[in-house]
Structure 1
Amino acid sequence: MDSNIEPAFQAQLQQATVYDSQQQNGFNHEPHFDITPQEQQDTSQQQLAAQACASCRKQKRKCDKLIPQCSLCQRIGRRCDYSEENRVLPPSAEEFTSLRQEVAELKHLLSSNVLPSARANASTKSSSDVSMSNDSSPANFLSSIIPNGQSQQPAWPAPSSFPSLFFLDSSAFEYERFQIQVPHIRVPPGALAALGSSAELRLMIENFFSSVHTYFPIVSKIRLYQHLANPLHEPGAEVALLFMAMKLVSTELPEGSPPQTPVYQDVKSFYTYMEAQNGFSIQMLQGLLLISLYEYGHGIYPAAYLSIGNAARLGHAMGLHARDVPQMLPRCTTWTEQEERRRVWWAVLILDRISNIGHRGKPFASAEPSPDMHLPTDDAAWDRGQMLAAAPLSLSASQTIRASSFARACQSVHLAGKVCRHIDDKTTPLDYRFEEALQLHRTLKALVALLPTEAEGEDPTAGPTLCSSMAICYSALLTLYDAYGCSERLVPDAPETQLIMQQESIQGIAEICESVLLLCRKIRQRIELGEGLGRLSPMTIECIYEAGASYAWYLRETSEPRYAEKLAEVSQLLRLCERRWRVAGQYLHYIDEFWQYGCMGDTDPREYISVIEATEYQMISAIR
């Protein structure tokens, strides 16, 4: 691995052109038309271009080079382009010599301008902590390679061309069988410096796959390694963006430091740069999803909410949500690649739903998945690139059929999304509304009863766990029960199902809070047994907060010491989770504020137990 990663990235600065895979393989998606002898004879008396048009070169067709349009392009009604910028020629030996000299000069600039400034800001940091620039702007790094006097103001290069017909009239785009060429975007030199050496990059990748990948498996391990090991593949800017996002989300923050680190600012600037260059790819969306996960886990709002919406828009534009819509990406060539795209879209749905559980009244940014949409397959088999013989599992399949951990998370978040839609929809008739609430209650309870049984036999060190799935189900149930458990929200003259749902909600809150408490103990046990905080999913924290708020309410209403003990246990885990995800500290602050303005002031819940016991003793003494 060591010998393959660094040369692959150094090739960014040593290559003059990019060979498009479809051009090399000669894929032809257009009908075969040949130039007739009469047309060929007529061309001798007309003005000819210096070279064949781009379309004929790509499809390997004979071009008569007529100006302004060759006969073949005119006959089939396609755009004819003779521009020199589309020519793809192998670099000559002189060009390679010149490039080597420029690379040497560029390395000198990087070592003299970039790295010393980073060392001056933090002399004790390793190269893995190097930021892209002093002010986190890729444009400044692009301007650093321009000689003095040629540019007064730093500016990004001109964006790659994109066929606007894809968005203006997708029917015409599909009818003409046009294809979108994935643009080649130059990597800002600072991005390579921020990733560090090949050894540091290898350690970062291994750390990512052993931590974040266990609960958010959206990056194919085998495809990533194959891509880096193949000398014919040139890693582009989208791969560099993905690596920076992997580094961002898998790195634990130092205690007390804010989450808006220089690396976070760099990767956000890098994505903005990619977007300005009309970039799009599955790696770019994966990088954006990891950025969104980081922002969600650290409570960086409204950035997290907007980033998730941006990811949904990009996924819709590329056509990941359905197969029968216009596609921006080329057709998949392997099962592993198809599964990766499916997982990426499910990740969009997961982040979109869980970020709206506590943020009521807002529509989802992503479309509702269809019942026949396939769930992710076995996680370990996908990591190995091993296609299973079993038929894929659809979303409408029975919950009793065993599924992978990530598939369970997808099922859970689908039900959580239905709960959010149900609560926000105020237009449905009352009888249907309460029937739907009861149906959601029964479906979620059935899945909740199934998950702990499956989790008993899992090996936490071997792969993903079901903690995220259980936490999402608990959050959905507590959200549903909160909407129907309060007697003040009862609707007059409502059907009998309203009282049934209220009874189920009051009883269900206590039961689910106990289940969350068991989940807290399980998480704490795994952390203390050596698993650490690296594999702690931020998706588990929201249900812990809801349980803590419920115990705070129980304690205020009943003053029973057992609720103070449970609240203290939940608060301790939130403090532990804060070391990995800062949003846990924000949740804990809200619980503390509730107590401050509720009944306890600044008293610790464990200290409140003795206060209750002393008060009960005084009351008994007074009665006697």
Structure 2
Amino acid sequence: MVNRQVVGIIKQTQLSIGDINARFFRHFHCWLPVISPRLFREEYECDSREPSADFSILLLAMCLLTACPARTTTLSPPMTLDALYLTTRMLFAQVQALIPASTRLVQAGLLIAAYEYACGRPQAAFISMGTCARMAHSMNLDRNTNLDKGLLLGTASRLKAVEEWNVWWGTVILERVILLELTHQGRSPMTKHPSLHSYLPSDLDYDRCLRALPSDVEPFEDPPRLSGVHSKNVTRFGRQAQATNLLDQVLSVLRMDMEIDQTISELRRLDAELQAFLAIMTIECGAQLGHYCGAMATAIRALVLVHQNILANTETTDTLLHQNSRAALETATKIMVDVAYHHITHLTPHNVDALPLCCSYNLRVAMDHIENQSRHFPGTQASKDLACLMALDRAFCMRWRTS
């Protein structure tokens, strides 16, 4: 029943299942790999039964993230992205009320929250994350021991355990990225951040799946841990997890009721850790500017938050501290400008999906900084940088913000 509804809805978007699969795993999946391409393909291609209700909703949520406005405004009958979003949310709620919590439902909820976040609706995304977190907790996806046991089993069971651990990490990461954009940043996350001894997540590599390798999980005997910042075999999503750990610490410090001096001391400690982390990623990236795009974006956003709060909570007479914070904000803005120039040069309107979903939020932080600086130090270069940031932001908003 649900599958037939979903198939009918997808037909109205003029996307094939193959289109959805390729677009999703080539773009969004790189930023938040919470679905194993191999397990997804095997479940979809299973001829013995009709796709389950939760799998069908997951497929519809993937369609929501991959359908483009240009494709959905000329249909008969019309299926706008807003209509597709409302339909997806409605069916998700219906299925959630009818069947027990499942990994597929949590994955679908994460994709819906990610869509809301990309569309500039962080409040709605935060509410959706609450649903995801409660389902994930009820299934014990937050237990690192599940992965320990899974790694000792055969390929299929091992892959399922790794996928579930990625789902938990995806829930932790997305919730904190969304929390950044809420008006009241003092809110605590519903999910508990994994400990420093926890395993890092996998990239669930789509290319390994296409090459028919035994698993889409990286072949490692001893999985890297969250504390292993200097480890050599950390995945892209693993770096994103490490960046989110630093962001989580920043948010935690800002929520604490401490003396200003103690708060500043903690923020300066985190500044040093963030800058060291960014230096490691810069060395690892080399010429591949976009390799750690999500992790870099999260770390830079955390760095900006640190120095905005240092400047807001210290006396202007503390010249050295203010100079250091202003220099850090300039560096963070310069990195975002460099990224914007790179994307404007190499991106076309058809592959804006390659950008992480936090793109627009970060761009606007950089634009605000340049505009504030330009009031005191106007210049041609600042105008060019601002124009570049605005151009990329427009491209992003044309893709996601339809209303």
| TM tier, smaller | 0.7 to 0.9
Please state whether the residue corresponding to 1:579 is helix, strand or coil. helix
Query: Residue by residue, what CA displacement relative to the aligned partner does 1:149-208 show, whole Å, maximum 9, x if unpaired?
Result: xxxxxxxxxxxxxxxxxxxxxxxxxxxxxxxxxxxxx52642231133999222222222
What are the within-5 Å matches in structure 2 for residues 50-89 of structure 1?
A: none
Tell me the secondary structure at the aligned position of residue 180 of structure 2: coil
In structure 1, the residue matched to 2:90 is: 269
Cross-structure match for 1:373: 198
Letter in 1 for 2:314: L
Distance 1:503 1:558 in 2: 16
Q: In the aligned structure 1, how far is the partner of 2:71 from the partner of 2:56?
A: 28
What does 1:609-624 correspond to in 2, within 5 Å? none
Q: d(CA) in 2 for partners of 1:539 and 1:420? A: 17
Which of the numbers 245, 251, 264 marks the counterpart of 1:434? 264
Give the Cα–Cα distance (whole angstroms) in 1 for the partners of residues 395 and 47 of structure 2: 44
Q: How does 1:464-483 map to 2 (within 5 A)?
A: 465-483=291-309
**Structure with more helix by fraction:** 2
Counterpart mapping for 1:363-512 below 5 A: 363-380=188-205, 383=209, 384=213, 385=215, 386=217, 388-399=219-230, 401-425=232-256, 427-458=257-288, 465-486=291-312, 489-490=313-314, 501-512=321-332
Q: Deviations over 1:73-93 (max 9, x none)?
A: xxxxxxxxxxxxxxxxxxxxx
Q: Does 1:279 align with 2:128?
A: no
The counterpart of 1:553, out of the listed 354, 368, 372, is 372
Shift of 1:353: 0.8
Corresponding residue number in structure 2 for 1:321: 142
Aligned positions of 1:281-360 closer than 5 A: 281-323=102-144, 334-359=157-182, 360=185
Who is 1:221 aligned against?
Answer: 37
List per-residue Cα deviations over 1:86-121 (Å, max 9, x = no partner). xxxxxxxxxxxxxxxxxxxxxxxxxxxxxxxxxxxx
Q: Secondary structure at the match of 2:179?
A: coil
> What are the superposed Cα offsets for residues 347-371 of structure 1, whole Å, 9 maximum, x if unpaired?
1111111111132121112112211
AA at the equivalent of 1:272: A
Report the Cα offset of residue 559 of structure 1. 2.7
Matched, 1:522 2:342: yes
* Residues 1:193 and 2:17 aligned together: no
> What are the superposed Cα offsets for residues 293-325 of structure 1, whole Å, 9 maximum, x if unpaired?
111001135321211122112111211112569
Task: State the Cα RMSD in Å.
Answer: 3.0
Q: Is the 8 A contact 2:34 2:107 kept in 1?
A: yes
Over residues 191-230 of structure 1, what are the superposed CA-to-partner deviations in whole Å (9 max), with x where a residue is unaligned? Answer: 2311339992222222222222222211111111112233
- Please give the alpha-carbon distance, in whole angstroms, between the structure 2 residues aligned to 1:400 and 1:387: 15
Letter in 2 for 1:516: M
Shift of 1:457: 4.7
In the alignment, the residues of structure 2 paired with residue 362 and residue 508 of structure 1 have an alpha-carbon distance, to the nearest angstrom, of 26
Asked if the contact 2:203–2:218 (Cα under 8 Å) also holds between the matched residues in 1, the reply is no
Q: CA deviation at 1:491?
A: 6.4
Question: CA distance change for structure 1 residues 473 and 256 in 2, over 3 Å: closer, same or farther?
Answer: farther
Are the structure 2 counterparts of residues 387 and 555 from structure 1 closer, same or farther at C-alpha, using a change threshold of 3 Å? Answer: closer
Q: CA deviation at 1:562?
A: 2.8
| Residue 206 (str. 1) matches residue 22 (str. 2) | yes
Whole-Å separation in 1 of the counterparts to 2:230 and 2:123: 35
Q: Which has the higher contact order (CA 8 A, sep 6+)?
A: 2
Counterpart secondary structure, 1:302: helix
TM-score of the aligned structures, taking structure 1 as reference length:
0.57
Q: Output the amino acid matched with 2:117.
A: Y
**Deviation of 1:387 (Å):** 5.3
SS, match of residue 195 in structure 2 = coil
Change (3 A) 1:471 1:269: same
What one-letter code is carried by the residue in structure 2 that aligns with 1:220?
A: S
CA deviations 1:54-82 (Å, max 9, x no partner) are xxxxxxxxxxxxxxxxxxxxxxxxxxxxx
* Residue 542, structure 1, aligned to residue 361, structure 2: yes
Instruction: Write the deviation string for residues 233-253 of structure 1: whole angstroms up to 9, x where unpaired.
Output: 542100100000000011122
Q: Describe the shift of the 1:473–1:274 C-alpha distance in structure 2 as closer, same or farther (beyond 3 A).
A: same
Task: Give the 3 Å change call, closer, same or farther, for CA 244–256 of structure 1 in structure 2.
Answer: closer
Is the Cα contact below 8 Å between 2:163 and 2:204 reproduced in 1?
Answer: no
Say if 2:176 and 2:189, in contact at 8 Å, map to a contact too.
yes
Cα distance, 1:459 vs. partner?
Answer: 9.1
* Counterpart among 187, 210, 222 of residue 362 in structure 1: 187
The answer to whether the aligner puts 1:533 opposite 2:352 as a matched pair is yes
Which moves more between the two structures, 275-284 or 428-437? 428-437
Scaled by the length of structure 2, what TM-score is found? Answer: 0.86
d(CA) in 2 for partners of 1:503, 1:301: 33
Tell me the distance in 2 between the aligned counterparts of 1:204 and 1:260. Answer: 15
Return the alpha-carbon distance in structure 1 between the equivalents of residues 80 and 191 of structure 2. 27
User: Is the Cα contact below 8 Å between 1:227 and 1:233 reproduced in 2?
Assistant: no
> How many pairs were matched up?
382
| 8 Å contact from structure 2 (residues 226, 242) kept in 1 | yes
Supply the distance in 1 between the matched residues of 2:229 and 2:170 (Cα, whole angstroms): 21
2:68 to 245, 252, 271: 252
State the SS of the aligned residue for 1:305.
Answer: helix
The residue identity in structure 2 corresponding to 1:250 is T
Check conservation: 1:377, 1:392, Cα contact below 8 A. Answer: no
**CA shift for structure 1 position 560:** 3.1
Mind listing any 5+ residue stretches in structure 2 that lack a counterpart? 74-78, 147-151
Tell me the amino acid that sits aligned with residue 252 of structure 2.
R
Q: Contact between 2:35 and 2:204, CA under 8 Å: does it hold in 1?
A: no
Shift in Å at residue 531 of structure 1? 7.1
Offset at residue 540 of structure 1 (A): 2.4
How big is the shift at 1:340? 0.5
CA contact (8 A) 1:252 1:534 kept: no
Aligned in 2, Cα 1:482/1:233: closer, same or farther, shift over 3 Å? Answer: same
Match of 2:232, SS state, is coil
Q: CA offset at residue 552 of structure 1?
A: 0.3
What is the correspondence of 1:80-229 to structure 2 with a 5 Å cutoff? 187=2, 189-196=4-11, 200-229=16-45
